[in-house]
Amino acid sequence: MSKLVEGKVALITGAAGGIGREHALMLASHGAKVVVNDLGGDVSGQGEDLTQAQKVVEEIQAMGGEAVVNGGNVANFEDAKGMVDQAVDTFGDLNILINNAGILRDRMLFSMSEDDWDAIMNVHLKGTFSPTHHASVYWRNKAKAGEETYGRVINTSSPSGIYGNIGQSNYGAAKAGIAAFTVITAMELAKYNVTVNALVPAALSRMTAGLIGMDNLTDEQKEAMSPRWQAVTAAWLCSEEASNVTGRLFDVRGNQIGISEGWVLGPTGTQPDDPQDLGPLMAELMSKATLNANMGGIPSGGTGRPENEI
């Protein structure tokens, strides 16, 4: 059986543990050469340690694959360029970029500091933009030179970003920005044979381990929430088979996968001139509009899975 990404070169950020590690191992098992990027900080973004990233490289090498460590900071524009350059200099090309690096600074809005906000925006939003920018420059230059390009970008959004979650206004705003970034850059890069998609993961990792209920899971439940399932979707999206899939967000919860559909225009009406007369129309529009989704992606008040479940 042929491998999905045989001979392709992948750069994966935040790849020392959790979902990123699973991406690295999965792509390597399907023939990719991997740059394992991770600054090695803690969940809040403090500190640096390349030990775990090196262990992932050694795991890949033990299975007969090729991998190198990169300890750059995704929030640093020049470090991000260095990651792309390292992939090209080491393995001769770059075909796959998975933007996975992330931190948490959960606070209620009234308790959130400026640093809590800025740190999340830097790592998640700028940390997605920066590697993608430099990768896009590389692919565009190849295309303009008449060379064949093969580009796959997988970003990492979150249910907190597209559905909303209390205590994560910083994290959710960044993840919502990543969702929009995915849709827009997919349009911009299509002509260079580059697809851009995003995962909306629900998985057990060090970033979710402290959430309510996550510390009481059975072994069976832990397996069902394994971050490995995220890598299954990502690996397929990086393949030739997914060449016509772009600008999409994939909600992956264990082995369950769905497509998160974006904002759409709902009921409409014509405003009166005087805002005092707007109430009846607003009441009518609100009665017809679909409620915002809960963290399960289901309109609030709904139960079970969507009606279009396969």
Contact 13, 98 (CB under 8 A): yes
Q: What secondary structure does DSSP assign to 35-81, as a single string?
A: EEE-----TTS-----HHHHHHHHHHHHTT--EEEE---TTSHHHHH
Catalytic residue among 138, 163, 171, 192: 171
Active site residue 171: yes
Q: Are strands 9-12 and 33-37 parallel, antiparallel or unpaired?
A: parallel
290 backbone φψ class: left, alpha, beta (φ>0; ψ -120 to 50)? beta
Cα–Cα distances (Å) from 165 to 44, 77, 110, 246, in that order, read 18, 29, 15, 26
Q: What single-letter amino acid sits at 292?
A: N
Q: Are strands 249-253 and 256-260 parallel, antiparallel or unpaired?
A: antiparallel
Side-chain half-sphere CA neighbours of 215 within 13 A: 6
Structural element, H or E, at residue 139: helix 127-144
Catalytic site positions:
171
